[in-house]
Structure 1
């Protein structure tokens, strides 16, 4: 069964990246086991194949916990944040939220954007809804809070990536410092596209998204106790 429910907007003329490798369409298989997460999952990956290998907690992972690695696959269970997590931490009404994230992530990867490779997702019924897991390819590197100095040296590539998202009209509300990965060989990788969505843009090239991204990152940096010099990395309130 081909599973590709979302259409990604055309790239802007100003897109700064070369196209990436096209991914195979997803196939879904039901009632499968996931390493460390039990059975009953509907797995949506190329060929409908689940991750293999022993599941171990992902070292250095930030977020709401429960992130596992099996072989070269990272399994990120969906968890709610804020006060709602005390009432309903992991149950969602349908699987469409997981499918939407994969579609956006796949679009970014195939457009050559600096992100990890998306591998698919899985979901299973639970109580009055479903719970889900996102699969991505493991990539070596440190998240920004684990090495503030690295972020200062990669200012241009970070600003370029955020500017590209603005030009495409893609708003990602979970883009914070913990979702910015610095590989050892240079560059950056941006992670976690849950709830990302395309928004209508004015004719000024995404200027309205730039201050929103900047405010989101500044709030994240201050919350994490980042050194003062890192605040300059995200640039001025108006897009440079």
Structure 2
């Protein structure tokens, strides 16, 4: 995939005829690279990243999922929260997938059809997910948010805390206005509502109540189920 993206970048910047393509790309004007990046990104599968870090054996020696499964982390604490309606914007509701099989196949192009059908069966059997769109939202959300979150918290163990942002409508990133109220205008204007991240800064504990605080206590996270291995 890395080679594919390199070749597409060369093509988009019209440098295919050069002998040393990498050296030539390094001399391309930044505006040309920016335009190429936008075209490539917009042509990608909805809500997925095209240009990502790759394992080079030197700067990045292994996949982060492998590092987390070995519980190798530098952080002292992991306060983790997700918005209740966070996942909806990551699937194109204006053009929903014609079938869950097609969606999963495109989202995970390296999976064989046996694995694809196993995933499809799991989500179509869920009585809550009654439409292909809702099933696709669940697949996308659990693969990029839910399971990675549990993998990260598992690496931190009893230094991890899990919360859910549920102030309506609870969309992705809507909690930022409460974590950083001086930069945003909170919908519910009460600065004492969420102080969890400041509590971590002060005491490495989300429930350290150093001011009037209306939030409930965050229990130390414990593993209560296991997501499928993300490194296979």
On whether the aligned pair clears a TM of 0.5, the verdict is: no
TM-score, normalising length from structure 2?
0.26
Greater fraction strand: 1
TM-score, normalising length from structure 1?
0.26
Question: Relative contact order (C-alpha < 8 Å, sep 6+): which is higher?
Answer: 2
